[in-house]
Structure 1
C-alpha cells in the first residue's frame, strides 16, 4: 500500500450515534441524519456507490470482514472506512435491516432534467408508487434493462435512501431519478420532446406485446391497487395491458415493471 492511505481506519466505539429507546425522528425510517444525506447499507448498495464517481461518500462504517472484502475487490473508499462492530451499525438502522457489515452516508445523486431524460431510448415513469421495497425492486430491474431515467414526483414517492437503496441492490447508481412537481405536465413535456408515452393499465385496449412501440419510449406504471390516476391515464399517448395466461391475472407492481421493461426493450431494439 505504498504511497496510498489505508482503505480503513479504526473507530472508537462511540462513533455510532446513540438514540434513546423508542425515539424516532418524524418522517425518517432510520436514525438521525441531515435531510440531504442518503443512507446506504448492504454490500451491493454501498459497493456500487463507492464505485460510482458521481456519488460523494460522507461517512463509511464497515466491520473488519466487510473492510477486508473491499480490499479483496479492489475498492479504495474515500473517505476511509471506520472499522466498527456490527452492533454499532445495528444501532443506526431498523431492527430488521440486513446491513452485511457496511453502512454509508452519502450525498444524493444529481437529478437530470426532463430534456436530458428524453435523450434516453427507454424511460420509466412512476405514478405515486410509495412502497420503498417495490420502488427499490423496480430500480434494480430498470438498471438491468438499461433504463435511462426514472421520472416521478418528489411528493408521494419514497426517498432514494434506506430500504429503497437496499432493495435496489446498487441500481440507484445506474438509473437517475428525475423528480418533477407535476406528473401530467411532465408527460406532456416528454411528448413534446418526441417521447412515446405508454401507460400500463389493466383496461388497456391491447396487450403490450401487440402495441406498436418505438424509441424514445416512456412506460408509465401506477400504484399497486389504484393503478394510474385518471389525469395520468388521459395524458398518455396510448394504454396497454399485460395479459397473463394463469389463474392469477394480476402482478405485484415490481413484477409487472420487469415484464413491461423487458417487452419494451426487445421491441425498441428491433430494426424498424
Structure 2
C-alpha cells in the first residue's frame, strides 16, 4: 500500500517499539504514542537519526479520551496523511482466580485493552475515512480464543477485541479500510513482568522454551500492510513452535 503515516500505540517497548523500528526502516512516516516520556523521546531520537522518515510522538494514555481529543485538535496537520492505526497498547494484571481478583486490576485491564482501543479507533478513524483508504491492525492474543485459569478478565478483554474486529469489518465494508486481528501466543516482552510484577517470575514464564520475539510480530504487521489493496488478512494466530495452545508448552 502507499506509505501513509502509521499510528502505533504502546510504542515504547515490546511489539510496539519493534514495529516502529521496522516500519521506519520500511519508509513509513510514524506517529508514536506511549506513556513513558523518556522512552518515547529516546525512541524518536533513534528512529530519526537512523532513517529518513518523519517521526512524531505523543505522550498520551489511550485510556484518556480528553487528552487524545486535545492532541488531535492541536495536531490536525499531522493527521492528514494518516493511513494506518496499530492498536498495540495492552496489558494483563495477575494470575489469580476470579474470586481473588483485584477490582482495580480489572479496571486497568479493561480500560487499556478495550476502552483504549475504542478511544483510539473511533477518534482517528475519521482521518482514514477522509483518505478513502486505510488499515487498522489490532494486537489481540490467543487469550481471545481460549480461556485459561487465572486469566478470566484478560481473556474477556481479548475476546471483546475479537468482537470489535469483526464488527469493524462489517461496519467499514465498502469503505476501503482493512481490519486485521493478530493473535500471538507467548512473546518475550515486558508483558509477563507487568502481569506478575516480579522479574524472576517473569523470566520463568519462558524458561526452557523459545518464545516469539517482538520483531516476529512486527514483521507480520509489515507483511500485512504490504499486501495488495484487494487482500485483507482478517485474522492471524501465531504461536512459537514450542507452544501448541495456551495450555501446552514444550520445555527442554
TM-score under structure 2 length normalisation:
0.35
Q: Which has the larger radius of gyration?
A: 1
TM-score under structure 1 length normalisation:
0.33
